């Protein structure tokens, strides 16, 4: 199976899953299924209120109305009590680093944006093209160099490693263009045929040093930067790209495989790109160092504009070769950085890719 065959398999797999999801979409869980503080008692009270409201609408009567209002107040109080008890217990169990997840950020997701000023100075007013204008205005690098074809290596892919990477995806995370979430992929993995298909897709992708087209397609969600003077300028926005969940699982596999070279190529001062060295761990270490220093310290912050999005493929491959990274992984990383396609969503409108 070559590159075209791999693309067809991925598209057929995702198309079949999406179709099955549409068939099952009408089957809903009970209302409190995703609320951990919800229980059967609250569910019964909710159903009882619905029944009484229907009786009142059918029969009328001031006495029944007052009784319904009183029960609704008690129902809301019980919800607040159970919710409060749950979160109080949850926060008491939480560690310092975990508590950082609840710090509010300056994210402001956009549901409507004004005309965007393009590179030629003219305003782009058409809704479907505003996202594209923002991406172009942010100066995202576009790799025009063609991928090298004809490469094929031999990869012995460990099933336990793949399973670990697949199940690391959180169920509630936002999904990409195909609408397939982490929970669905995990359910497919548990099936015998699903595990075989996903393993074969990932193994062939690595052997060919090629990332399937679907894994390079994303939805771009526009986020407004705070306190900007002119929101007609592309630089007043940030775009978060939501990728294919199966592709993200494969990315985690590649990160694991690159791990041994990463430890050799990155010093102790390097944070990010490694487990246990995320932004939250960096903040935690900074706070502990500050406390040990008696509350004194110096912090220097720098931001390389567009650094992540504008990595040159040639330079990246040169650096990986210098570290002695296997050729199939170098080819895969190069393929991942080329010919990406994004469709920007503003509110419920999805722009042209």
pLDDT in tens, the chain (353 residues): 788 888 888 888 888 887 777 766 554 444 444 577 788 888 888 888 888 888 888 887 888 888 888 888 888 888 888 888 887 777 666 554 454 454 444 445 565 677 777 777 788 777 667 777 777 666 655 555 556 666 777 888 899 999 999 888 888 777 887 788 888 888 888 888 888 999 999 999 999 989 998 898 888 888 888 888 888 888 888 888 888 888 899 999 998 888 877 766 666 777 766 677 777 788 888 888 888 877 777 777 777 666 666 677 888 888 888 888 888 998 998 888 887 887 887 766 666 55
User: What is the Cα–Cα distance from 203 to 19, expressed in whole angstroms?
Assistant: 25
For residue 174, give both structure tokens: 């936002």
Q: What was the pLDDT predicted at 294?
A: 75
Give residue 143's pLDDT.
Answer: 53
């Amino acid at each position: 199976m070559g590159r075209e065959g791999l693309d067809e398999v991925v598209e057929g797999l995702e198309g079949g899953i999406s179709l099955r999801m549409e068939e099952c979409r009408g089957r809903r869980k009970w209302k409190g299924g995703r609320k951990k503080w919800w229980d059967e008692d609250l569910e019964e009270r909710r159903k009882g209120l619905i029944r009484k409201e229907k009786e009142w609408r059918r029969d009328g009567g001031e006495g029944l109305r007052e009784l319904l209002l009183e029960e609704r107040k008690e129902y809301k109080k019980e919800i607040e009590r159970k919710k409060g008890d749950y979160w109080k217990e949850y926060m008491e169990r939480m560690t310092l680093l975990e508590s950082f997840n609840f710090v509010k950020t300056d994210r402001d997701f956009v549901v409507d944006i004004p005309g965007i000023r393009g590179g030629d100075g003219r305003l782009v007013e058409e809704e479907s093209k505003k996202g594209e204008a923002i991406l172009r205005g942010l100066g995202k690098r576009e790799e025009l160099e063609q991928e090298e074809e004809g490469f094929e290596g031999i990869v012995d892919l460990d099933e336990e490693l793949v399973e670990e990477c697949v199940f690391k995806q959180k169920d509630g995370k936002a999904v990409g263009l195909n609408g397939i979430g982490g929970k669905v992929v995990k359910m497919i993995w548990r099936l015998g045929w699903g595990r075989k298909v996903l393993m074969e897709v990932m193994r062939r992708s690595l052997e060919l040093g090629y990332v399937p087209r679907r894994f390079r397609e994303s939805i771009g969600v526009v986020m407004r930067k705070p306190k900007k003077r002119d929101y007609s300028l592309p630089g007043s926005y940030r775009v978060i790209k939501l990728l294919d969940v199966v592709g993200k699982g494969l990315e985690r596999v590649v990160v694991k495989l690159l791990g041994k070279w990463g430890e050799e190529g990155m010093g102790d001062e390097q944070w990010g790109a490694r487990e246990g060295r995320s932004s939250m761990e960096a903040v935690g270490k900074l706070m502990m160092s500050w406390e040990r220093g008696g509350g004194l310290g110096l912090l220097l912050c720098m931001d390389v504009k567009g650094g992540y999005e504008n990595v040159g493929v040639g330079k990246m491959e040169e650096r990986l070769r210098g570290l002695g990274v296997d050729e199939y992984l170098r080819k895969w990383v190069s393929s991942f950085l080329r010919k990406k396609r994004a469709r920007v969503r503003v509110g419920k409108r999805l722009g042209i890719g």
